[in-house]
Structure 1
Amino acid sequence: MASLRNAAIAFIASLPCRALASNIIDNNASPPNLSTVFNNSIFYTWRPRSHVLPPSGQIGDPCMHYTDPTTGLFHIGYLHNGAAGAKTSDLITWTDVAEDPTFIRAGGINDPVAVFDGSVIPYGINGTPTLLYTSVSYLPIQWTVPYTKGSETQSLAVTYDGGANFTKLEEGPVIPGPPFPVTNVTGFRDPYVFQSPQLDAAAISPEGTWYSVISGGIHGQGPSQFLFRQYDADFRDWEYLGEWWREEANSSWGDGTWAGRWGFNFEVGNVFALDTEGYNAEGEVFTTLGAEWSEVPIIPQVSQFREMLWAAGNITTSSNGSVHFDPTMAGKLDWGQWAYAAAGKLLPANSSTSTSSGTANDRFISYLWLTNNNFGTSAFPTMPQGWNSVLTTTRELAQGTIGNVIDNELVNETASWRVGSRDTATRTVELITLRQTIAREIRAAFVSNATRTFSQSGRSVSNSTSSYSNSNASSLAFQQSPISKFFMMTASIAFSSSARGSGDLKAGFKILGSEYESTAIYYQFSNESLIVDRSNSSAAALTTPGLLANNEAGRLRLFDIANGSNSSSIETLNLTIVVDNSVVEIFANDRFVLSTWIWSWYDESTQISFYHEGSGDVSFGNVTVYEGLVDAWPERVY
């Protein structure tokens, strides 16, 4: 362990100087109750270096993203004492928009209480970026309580200084509340602006019209997205087009296996169109949305149940001329219990980011809020840490395809995929789903900027023969492991055909391990799930009640893939695991993501191991570790 500690010290010494500041607490000693230590004394213990987060304090929902039409820089926003932001030329490194990154605060005539989410029209009033946001006059607002009229309105603000400040218009809200007679709402917030040639045609709108969906619901009916369209050139008047999407209260997509529940109230709805290359205004219509729900099916109860979902579907027109969104498939955007409030935006091919990376197509990129205090319900030691929550690694979204899939009972469900085409001769199908990948610039930077890169020889296992954490599990340490907690690992796991019927097979990896703590990430066929076993992840969780140790899990079906000659094999599980100190994001097969926290305590908890439990043939391969990640904030000084 001493040699490992010395190597870790050498690695840390290679980081930027400001990262050398040490914690007051000793991470080589047993952890105290962290809720009792001084403020900021564990500031660096779990702080990531490659994610978006403010210099200190709480980060909230991602929102208000846009590409500046003058500079070509991409701007990201997030709730932080109002709304704050940063800008980038490459999606890799970021600069705060000003010394104080907050660019709009509550306190105006329209928003005396709070500023909630909004979105930006890049060429808005007088051709400048224009923000449509929720201005709040009354709290509390929650889907379980009666709605106070006038509490949420939608207002405008314009930037004249490159996004450092958004100046509120000196006039009333441009959308003064829920449309008459839809007044008994569960919420009316988070306006998202977009353009859609398909909506132009369906709603008989002028070409290039801007639309806005506002998220919420109606008491006793269900969650909704309310649709508005631009009525005048200056965006000061918006015409209500109706509830373009509503679901029955607390219902689910199918049986709920693949997309959870629609809940009682929608939040943070985004609407966009995708093809297999990325953003395409003429492509398939997608929406991402937050769903708030309760375990009580009829009478709502106060709860913190939230899910971040996506859906794809068609735009239809009713006989009375109203337009509607009709889902054809739906799923979870992130299976992490604390990943929520996604916000995305078109990243055009002529942006500085796309130009510098040589990307020739428009893209849609998205971020989620990853809270580390369970939406304020756990006693996480926030003050000792000095910061709270992050935004997830940038994702590119596109229409995904899974080809050469055997046409059997595994494909025919109301699920997060749909059958795109069938080949009766080969008895195969092509499936359509949502594709989610790490933004190409970031993935390339994690590889090219790695301070250490090493590969691990593959391993084939048929039975568990030795003990690691219990009598049925086998774990073999890598020949090399990271010397830090900043790395990206890629790997593949192939299963034999007999694995499909195995009731006890688990296969994956253990990360952030030592003799004191470790985290298992594995796939099990019994419920087609990727599991993150956090029960032994953190020695600090044993002394600090606010560090939750519950497991995380998400559903992922591995299909049967035709190999020719009337044979088939189970789809290979392809994993990319990003570990940024305490933030862990698991990407699988370009269609599954689970983001979570691993609060490992000891500096020496960096070991990686193969993990196998139960009976069944498994082959591990293509294992590569890229250590170091990138410093996302080179200009910040703490």
Structure 2
Amino acid sequence: MRRIITVAGSLALLVGYVHSALINPIDYNAAPPNLSTVFNNSIFYTWRPKAHVLPPFGAIGDPCMHYTDPATGLFHVGYLYSGDGGNSGAAGATTDDMVTYHDVSTDPMFIRAGGINDPVAVFDGSVIPAGINGTPTLLYTSVSYLPIQWTIDYTKGSETQSLAIARDGGANFTKLTEGPVIPGPPFPVTNVTGFRDPYVFQDPKFDAALDSTNGSWYVIISGGLHGSGPSMFLFRQYSPVFRDWEYLGQWWHEPANSTWGDGTWAGRWGFNFEVGNVFSLDDEGYNTDGDIFTTNGAEWSEIPIIPQVSQFREMLWSSGNLTKAENGSVTYEPSMAGKLDWGVYAYAAAGKILPASSAASNKSGAPDRFISYIWLTGTNFGTSDFPVDQQGWSSSLLTARELSRGTIENVVDNELVNETASWRVIGRDTSSDTVTLSTLKQVIAREARTAFISNATRTFTEPDRTLSTNTNSTSTNTAFSQSPISKFFMMTASLTFPSSARTDGSLKAGFKILSSAHESTLLYYQFSNESLIIDRSNSSAVAAITPGILTNNEAGRLRLFDIRDSNGTGNGTAVETLELTVVVDHSIVELYANERFVLSTWVWSWFETSTELAFFHEGETEVVVGNVTVWEGLVDAWPGRS
């Protein structure tokens, strides 16, 4: 669906890397060359992460087609893939611990384009874990014509939905020898902007609202209507073997290029929806009795006149209510919405239920969960001139996240809470003048976080300190007493701001990472626009020499509320503490905050010495930084790869 780039095959890549490394060694303590001129595959390891999901070679695209195999308890992670001489389809891996992964085969593709229904491409799909004959069954978008883009007229028959059945433990999915089970947009909904990315699910709330048989399967297909706006199309299982699906209408529709509220907290709904998921969450994780949540991609434009090409995208989440219409259909109306990841290159999230009975949850003792992966494109959706051939691989999935319903308590009932935003008020206490807020909670999958800590090769802490630009002992950019010796670590910290910080328009406070005399990256919070910012302007010495090494700043909105004292009865208030977790996996930086904010991006630092950490502060207001701990090493997510 999103364009993915073809690179050399596995054997050629490895041979080429060894050959080029021997005759053209790269010195990471010297100024970099123009990397677009070096041998193919010669920078294969220069920025390669080790703790993330990515293929052994080639280009990874949208995460999709995840499932837990009921026969083995293994969780299967899927993704669109292009590699090995131009073949494309979907590839995958299994995990029994959400930390280490194993390719489903040496290929590693489990389905390829080129069948009767998909002569051109395989786009995203979703798996029924116990489908036809109790076997994992894939419903995916089969593509017959390209190009497909929301800015151009839609070619009838270009996107259909087809079935395939797992074989050999998921190493292969065999396509059914029949036509598509959903042959296109329903009549008269023909003038669509897209019709793809089926997501299958069960939900008793849908059963009740639609008078369905308990346990019915549903599928939402993402797209939109030209001149009208983005939509999610809803279908219900009609035959017991999933070969027929009944159209139930546009479950969710938004006006073209409209925003949630004023757009501050969730950007735009755009012109076309992609990769839609729907699921129910409570405070512990996945629960069909919980609140309805969605994740979805949105394609949009900055101008009202639709251009021929637009690369603007948002990866959004929402929560809202299901309403039964007079004609018997159901509609969805969000009551809060936000960004699942604020990174410009983070897109196409796909999630799946990870049941308590899965192998990973059995080990960790976790309840039923909803796990989501997000694609981090390394080429700005194919529009930048990044040296892909020289690297030999492209893009990655971000660390798996657990999604649940989040609660913020003892929030002072003032103007900061009363907004159409990424939270909603679920309770008011007039005696203490406080409210309780609900939002989406998203954290690193517990197994991965535990592994980053328990497998650390070095662990060190920094003493608490007060940052002040005007005090020599705690001046701007104060270096840590220790720093990592590698570019693989997780760091946690808390920043405490006084109330006066809200009126200090010059205040910036945070950290400098991946730093040396030649390059560095800043992570900081500023109250002037309530933003967490990753300043990449000096992040890479390569950027001035090699095209496609992007250094634009990344930013996302996070409101720190006023919080009543801990027992909720006093009159004292304080600005909510900023709790940060930073994961650095060579070139991937993921910034998590207060269990409700994530900003992910690439940082292509060059020098081997660019591993230093420091505190960062600007402005008049003092900031207290505490609980700083660094765990160095992360984990090798692919122990079976040579």
Could you tell me the TM-score, scaled by structure 1's length?
A: 0.95
Q: Which amino acid aligns with 2:98?
A: L
Q: 1:315 is matched with which residue: 308, 322, 325?
A: 322
Deviation at 1:466, TM superposition (A): 6.3
* Whole-Å separation in 2 of the counterparts to 1:466 and 1:32: 39
Residues 349-393 of structure 1: CA distance to partner in whole angstroms, max 9, x if unpaired?
00000001122x100000000001100111001111110000000
In structure 1, the partner of 2:485 is: 483
* Whole-Å separation in 2 of the counterparts to 1:251 and 1:565: 42
Deviation at 1:467, TM superposition (A): 12
Deviation at 1:24, TM superposition (A): 3.3
* Whole-Å separation in 1 of the counterparts to 2:503 and 2:31: 43
Deviation at 1:283, TM superposition (A): 0.8
Q: Which amino acid aligns with 1:308?
A: M
- Aligned pairs, how many? 613
Contact 1:467/1:475 (<8 A) preserved: no
Contact 1:258/1:332 (<8 A) preserved: yes
SS of the equivalent of 2:249 reads strand
Q: Which amino acid aligns with 1:123?
A: A
In structure 2, the partner of 1:511 is: 513
In structure 2, the partner of 1:59 is: 60
In structure 1, the partner of 2:349 is: 342
Correspondence 1:202 to 2:209:
yes
In structure 2, the partner of 1:434 is: 440
In structure 2, the partner of 1:3 is: none
In structure 2, the partner of 1:581 is: 586
In structure 2, the partner of 1:523 is: 525
Contact 2:405/2:439 (<8 A) preserved: yes
Q: Which amino acid aligns with 1:616?
A: T
* Whole-Å separation in 2 of the counterparts to 1:385 and 1:489: 28
Contact 1:464/1:613 (<8 A) preserved: no
* Whole-Å separation in 2 of the counterparts to 1:464 and 1:121: 60
In structure 2, the partner of 1:611 is: 616
* Whole-Å separation in 2 of the counterparts to 1:228 and 1:389: 33
1:278-357 to 2 correspondences below 5 Å:
278-357=285-364
Q: Which amino acid aligns with 2:336?
A: M
Deviation at 1:296, TM superposition (A): 1.1
Contact 1:48/1:580 (<8 A) preserved: yes
SS of the equivalent of 1:112 reads coil
Residues 59-80 of structure 1: CA distance to partner in whole angstroms, max 9, x if unpaired?
0000000000000000000001
* Whole-Å separation in 1 of the counterparts to 2:630 and 2:226: 50
Correspondence 1:390 to 2:391:
no
Residues 276-335 of structure 1: CA distance to partner in whole angstroms, max 9, x if unpaired?
000001210011000000111243441100010001001001111110111000000000
* Whole-Å separation in 2 of the counterparts to 1:603 and 1:491: 25
Contact 1:464/1:612 (<8 A) preserved: no
In structure 1, the partner of 2:231 is: 224
SS of the equivalent of 1:539 reads coil
Q: Which amino acid aligns with 2:158?
A: S
In structure 2, the partner of 1:148 is: 155
In structure 2, the partner of 1:9 is: none
Correspondence 1:560 to 2:562:
yes
Correspondence 1:70 to 2:71:
yes
Correspondence 1:244 to 2:251:
yes
Deviation at 1:465, TM superposition (A): 4.9
Residues 413-437 of structure 1: CA distance to partner in whole angstroms, max 9, x if unpaired?
0000000100011000110000000
Q: Which amino acid aligns with 1:605?
A: S
In structure 2, the partner of 1:15 is: none
Contact 1:269/1:289 (<8 A) preserved: yes
In structure 2, the partner of 1:12 is: none
Deviation at 1:464, TM superposition (A): 4.0
In structure 1, the partner of 2:602 is: 597
SS of the equivalent of 2:207 reads helix
SS of the equivalent of 2:628 reads strand
Q: CA RMSD for the aligned pairs?
A: 1.3
Correspondence 1:363 to 2:369:
yes
Q: Which amino acid aligns with 1:478?
A: F
Unaligned runs of 5+ in 2: 1-17, 82-87
Contact 2:151/2:306 (<8 A) preserved: no
* Whole-Å separation in 1 of the counterparts to 2:619 and 2:139: 54
* Whole-Å separation in 2 of the counterparts to 1:192 and 1:339: 20
Contact 2:260/2:268 (<8 A) preserved: yes
In structure 2, the partner of 1:424 is: 430
* Whole-Å separation in 1 of the counterparts to 2:471 and 2:516: 21
Contact 2:468/2:618 (<8 A) preserved: no
Could you tell me the TM-score, scaled by structure 2's length?
A: 0.94
* Whole-Å separation in 2 of the counterparts to 1:33 and 1:233: 58
* Whole-Å separation in 1 of the counterparts to 2:329 and 2:276: 19
Contact 1:523/1:530 (<8 A) preserved: yes
* Whole-Å separation in 2 of the counterparts to 1:255 and 1:123: 43
